[in-house]
Structure 1
Amino acid sequence: MTPESAPTIQQLLAFYLEAGVDCALTDEPVNRLSDPDIMSITREAAPAQPVRTIPAPPAAIPAARAEAPAAPEAAILSAREAARTASSLEALRALMETFDGCALKSTATRLVFADGNPQARIMFVGEAPGREEDIEGLPFVGRSGKLLDRMIAAIGLDRSSVYIANVIPWRPPGNRTPTPQETQICLPFIQRQIELVNPDVLVTLGNPSTQTLLSTREGIMKTRGRWFDYDTGTRTIRALATFHPAYLLRSPSYKRMAWQDLRAIAKALEQVSA
């Protein structure tokens, strides 16, 4: 690596945050492999002879797979049934607190259900909580949350007049991308949440929430600024896709496009009120 291409401290810190390293245990890095005590323990614990692994016969593998339960499918069905029975946001939250079908719950600190006004005319939906959200139990409270606050303030709104949630209510370990199975398990909950809030305008923040909720395979560059019809089963809600605030922090040049989207949202709210 040449000096010209060497990353800066800020770039390295950003890389570690993206990788999920969000806290330090000591002030200086420690090379555990150079510790003589650990190396001696490792040598003593090493087996005298290599352990052979005998593979299972080919015929046994299909049989074992056939007997394994379809856990993800069962979890999705369970989530659908649970979400369908929730008659209020309070009941939905209580169901999600006791739901054990998503493995993300076991690694997260707490459920990140929602923030804002349940009677709001506009609802924002992101992808999943981050570290700060996991600690506080509220969506969009970190750097991206502060930017979202400024974005909605630009059109005369604040958290008391909007409703904010995520497709995934539990933080994935290390802020990794949720798997398709995890998304499908959590999908019935956010769908019911949207139905219960019943906003006039739904705003999907970023590519994952847009593709999941608006049933499109196109990227955010093609979907942002476009209006979609979101069908709750009882009503059709106008939905608009725009950039996730975290993306705007990394790519501030797109804030101009986001401002255009915000103006379209404000105009739509005015039309509904007229």
Structure 2
Amino acid sequence: MTPDPLPSAHQLLAFYLEAGVDCALAEEPANRLHDPEVAPKEAAKNPASPSLEQARPVRPAFAPAPAMPAEPMPSPDAAIASAREAARTAPSLEALRSLLETFDGCALKSTATRLVFADGNPKARIMFVGEAPGREEDIEGLPFVGRSGKLLDRMIAAIGLDRNAAYIANVIPWRPPGNRTPTPLETQICLPFIQRQIELVDPDILVTLGNPSTQTLLGTRDGIMKTRGRWLNYDTGTRSIRAMATFHPAYLLRSPSYKRMAWQDLRAIAKALAQTTP
């Protein structure tokens, strides 16, 4: 049997990109196959006549660069408390964005390319909130700009609006490495910022996209199948906002059969907007 040809460097890079591996977490590559214990063991077998190679110091094939001393991360409780205090003091969306730019309590900031704060009209009557940015969002610094973003644009258009008449954000403002699911701690650290963001936008209707943002913001443990299409209340502390959950556009791309249910949710949202006095 003829063995399969080895993949080229271009094919390997394309494979890793498709798998979601599109960022490096170290400046230098590390040789994981190097065993520093091998050379000393071979030298012990023949100590009287070491070879030239045995006499040379053993070093890895790829020597990692010296690590720079990193600032210690705050404890989880301290990071959450710091986020709550910082978010509480933000008097405007611009100030909140500036606080997030300088906030170091969430480790996701160190692996993301840039902050993904929001897009759309900050005075909009409707606000959409997803979970976290993806690769395209991390590159452009705007939420929902990839394939799921194009579908969200069509969903917004289905209720007679566009991005200039809506406000779009995520619970997590930094992309998790490889598009992995944010940890509960990362979500809790970022939660005060999105809560303050909703309070400052003060929309008439809040739409949570997908299960993670729905459970985080609306305080339910039910799955999206039970939660979607039902009107709930989101309490900002100063007023109650009508809220509805629907499917995340990325989920609809994977499961297009659920677009019919999403359309029903959008019709209910459009009706509520029409009945709400601006």
Q: How does 1:1-274 map to 2 (within 5 A)?
A: 19-22=19-22, 42=34, 46=38, 48-49=40-41, 71-273=75-277
Cα distance 1:265–1:188, how it changes in 2: closer, same or farther (>3 A)? Answer: same
Superposition deviation, residue 134 in structure 1: 0.1
Q: 1:103 to 1:270 in 2, by over 3 A?
A: same
* Structure 1 residue 108: Cα displacement: 0.1
**Equivalent residue letter for 1:190:** I
Q: TM-score, normalised by structure 1?
A: 0.79
**Do the aligned partners of 1:76 and 1:184 also contact (CA within 8 Å) in 2?**
yes
Match for 1:73: what amino acid?
D
CA 1:226–1:175 in 2, change beyond 3 Å: closer, same or farther? same
Deviations 1:20-61 (A, max 9, x none): 2358xxxxxxxxxxxxxx89x936773525xxxxxxxxxxxx
- Answer with 1 or 2: which has the greater Rg: 2
CA distance in 2, matches of 1:168, 1:44: 41
- Say what the alpha-carbon RMSD is for the aligned residues: 2.7
**Ranges of 4+ aligned residues in structure 1 off by more than 6 Å:** 15-18
2:74–2:105: 8 Å Cα contact kept in structure 1?
no
Does structure 2 conserve the Cα–Cα contact (< 8 Å) formed by 1:19 and 1:176? no
Question: CA 1:237–1:44 in structure 2 vs 1: closer, same or farther (change >3 Å)?
Answer: closer
Query: Equivalent residue of 2:206, what SS?
Result: strand
- Tell me if structure 1 keeps the 8 A contact 2:130–2:248: yes
What secondary structure is seen at the aligned counterpart in 1 of 2:84? helix
In structure 2, distance between residues paired with 1:203 and 1:111: 22
Secondary structure of 2:163's match? coil
**Residue 160 of structure 1: SS of its match in structure 2?**
helix
Task: Report how far residue 17 of structure 1 moved.
Answer: 6.3
The structure carrying a bigger helix percent of its residues is 1
Q: Distance in 2 between matches of 1:165 and 1:43?
A: 47
Aligned residues: 231
Contact 1:224 1:243 in 2 (8 A): yes
Spell out, residue by residue over 1:66-108, the C-alpha distance to the aligned partner (whole angstroms, 9 max, x if none): xxx9711100000000000000000000000000000000000
For 1:70 and 1:168, locate their aligned partners in 2 and report how far apart those are by CA, in whole Å: 18
SS in 2 for 1:42: coil
Measure, in 2, the Cα distance between the counterparts of 1:245 and 1:16.
24
Judge conservation of contact 1:112–1:134 (CA < 8 Å) in 2: yes
Separation in 2, partners of 1:43, 1:73: 39
Distance 1:44 1:104, change over 3 A: closer
Query: Following the alignment from structure 1 to structure 2, what is the Cα–Cα distance between the partners of residues 43 and 87?
Result: 56
Identity, in percent, stands at 84
Task: Look up the equivalent residue of 1:161 and give its one-letter code.
Answer: A
What does the per-residue CA deviation read over 1:113-145, in whole Å, with 9 as the maximum and x for residues that have no partner?
A: 000000000000000000000000000000000
Q: Is the 8 A contact 1:19 1:175 kept in 2?
A: no
- 8 Å Cα contact 2:129/2:171 also seen in 1: yes
Which ranges of structure 1 fall in alignment gaps of 5 or more residues?
1-14, 24-37, 50-68
List per-residue Cα deviations over 1:189-237 (Å, max 9, x = no partner).
0000000000000000000000000000010010010111000000000
